[in-house]
Structure 1
Amino acid sequence: MKKLAQLVLAATLGMSAGYATADAISDAAMSDVRTAKAKARDEYRNPQQTLRFFGLQPNMTVVEVSPGGGWYTDILYPVVKDNGQYVAAHFYVDENSNDYYKKALAAFKQKTEAGEKYQGATVTAFDPMKALDITEAGSADMVLTFRNVHNWYMRHGDEGIDNAFGAFFTALKSGGVLGVVEHELPESADDEAMKKSGYMKRSYVIAAAEKAGFKLAESSDVNANPMDNANHPKGVWTLPPRLALDDQDREKYLAIGESNRMTLKFVKP
């Protein structure tokens, strides 16, 4: 009976922890910290389901690579701020960087100051050619990147991708998780499309991660959009939220919605 009671208690505590994690993610996603404009994208980006799929826990050290303005940070940071750690591997900036990178980094850093919404968050730098030490080696439980792989490939090709996934592998603990969300190019498409469309082939991303030493643990269709054929005049930017064609066929692209995306969970052995 004693053993049974212990098993029941352990199961109850496990369920409670799961509910607590789910509640933390839900609370962050629904928080007033997020703007109505940001929340409107949830329909396509499914942040709660995505983060649960990756296995986010409040006690984790989480590195978000290239967080931009903080769309996902608004959810990630509140989940881990009390019992874990959030690290933003943001733009690498030097004297040759353009104003966009400088302003974006400065704006993000301002949000980490006392009294601001990311107070106490750590900001490091990432560039697939210039800055690969995104956090202390072997210290991260989870590395996440959302819709960024195409940027590294378009700018730096295979070398940039190899460097990026190598950096993520180095940052993670053994057993740590790499979560990747990326615009998906059909496998039947010409590889050349990856150089300018903003879409990447799933097979290419998986091969790059495995080359770095990762194992694919699981994939999810949570961010899939079967209405998107990945063949648009201005690539992925033709679709919302960018709508690069402005008013041309606007209703058509709004009806498609945001891009079809792969959601891949890798593990460092």
Structure 2
Amino acid sequence: MIRPLTPTCLIALLLAVTATPLAAKQAKAPNYSAALADPARPATDRERDATRKPAELLAFAEVAPGEQVGDFVMGGGYVTRLLAAAVGPKGRVYAFQPAEFIGFKKQYGDDQAAIDAAYANVDAVNGPFAAPAFPAPLDTIITVQNFHDLYLKPFPEGTGDKASAALFAALKPGGTLVVVDHSAADGSGTSLSDSLHRIDKAAVVAALTKAGFKLEASSNLYKRSDDPRTTNVFEPAIRGKTDQFALRFRKPG
């Protein structure tokens, strides 16, 4: 005689069924220690690791070996070098530097050229800030402390919306975009991007949702409750100690 399952047995059975895939997924999570230990990383990068938490960032972005990834506004290359080691020789990193940034400061172009020459799996990508021309569909894009720049006064109105749409188009269906930036006061929108180099988290969510992204996760990885969020991020007293948000968006598909 087959007895009906009691609620307790049913719960136990469901847990048993779901536990194995979760455990398997966790077991397959990449180990980023090799990326951090990459001998090509300069000492200045390693000195910043304590506050920039690179392993945690790569884990939040779910970067895996063999992926095609983009660094949107690579700056001096801190994130690009991490990504190059994390995706490995079978992966590819597209390091985007806005033409406007290179025109403003030659060092941006020099830094990009140096990384392009140093890493076989890194390709330099240039172009307008609002129209990053990544040459291949990407699994992941990361942009760190740069999204607010889309709303600086030198750039035309609508630059943020155009760039958000371009990032959406650059990703494969199901691909992810990770945004880390300096927190502005709640409700301030993009109004403090130029004066304080900060942006309201809600404004980022609104812009990327408008572009078609779905907010998948947020992290307190860079949360600093002691930051009043009222000071320019380059002020010596607060530089490197700002409250920042980390958001992961997914392109449906």
Quote the offset at 1:8 in angstroms: 10
- Equivalent residue, structure 2, for 1:237: 234
Task: Letter of the 1:135 partner, please give it.
Answer: P
Asked if the contact 1:132/1:163 (under 8 Å) is kept, the reply is no
Asked if the contact 1:68/1:90 (under 8 Å) is kept, the reply is yes
* Cα offsets for 1:30-49 (capped at 9, x unmatched): 33322333222222211111
Match of 1:97 among 86, 92, 103: 103
Which structure would you say has the larger Rg?
2
- Equivalent residue, structure 2, for 1:71: 78
The change in CA–CA distance for 1:50 and 1:158 in structure 2 (over 3 A counts) is farther
Quote the offset at 1:267 in angstroms: 0.2
Which of 45-54 and 185-194 deviates more?
Answer: 185-194
Q: Is residue 80 from structure 1 mapped to residue 87 from structure 2 by the alignment? A: yes
Q: Secondary structure of the residue that 1:237 maps to in structure 2? A: coil
Q: Is residue 152 from structure 1 mapped to residue 150 from structure 2 by the alignment? A: yes
Map residues 204-223 of structure 1 onto 2, 5 A cutoff.
Answer: 204-223=203-222
Q: Secondary structure of the residue that 1:194 maps to in structure 2? A: coil
Asked if the contact 2:92/2:121 (under 8 Å) is kept, the reply is no
Separation of aligned partners in 1, 2:69 and 2:146: 17
- Equivalent residue, structure 2, for 1:192: 191
TM-score by length of 1: 0.78
Quote the offset at 1:223 in angstroms: 1.1
Give aligned-pair identity as a percent.
25
Task: Letter of the 1:67 partner, please give it.
Answer: M
Match of 2:28 among 14, 17, 36: 17
Separation of aligned partners in 2, 1:148 and 1:103: 17
Q: Secondary structure of the residue that 1:200 maps to in structure 2? A: coil
The change in CA–CA distance for 1:33 and 1:210 in structure 2 (over 3 A counts) is same
Map residues 163-174 of structure 1 onto 2, 5 A cutoff.
Answer: 163-174=162-173
Quote the offset at 1:231 in angstroms: 1.4
Matched residue pairs, number?
A: 234
Q: Is residue 258 from structure 1 mapped to residue 244 from structure 2 by the alignment? A: no
Structure 1 runs not aligned, ≥5 long = 1-6, 244-252
The change in CA–CA distance for 1:206 and 1:189 in structure 2 (over 3 A counts) is closer
- Equivalent residue, structure 2, for 1:112: 116
- Equivalent residue, structure 1, for 2:250: 267
- Equivalent residue, structure 2, for 1:123: 124
Quote the offset at 1:208 in angstroms: 0.3
Task: Letter of the 1:236 partner, please give it.
Answer: V
Q: Secondary structure of the residue that 1:176 maps to in structure 2? A: strand
The change in CA–CA distance for 1:10 and 1:209 in structure 2 (over 3 A counts) is closer
Match of 1:50 among 50, 53, 57: 57
- Equivalent residue, structure 1, for 2:34: 27
Cα RMSD after superposing both structures: 2.6
Quote the offset at 1:92 in angstroms: 1.8
TM-score by length of 2: 0.82
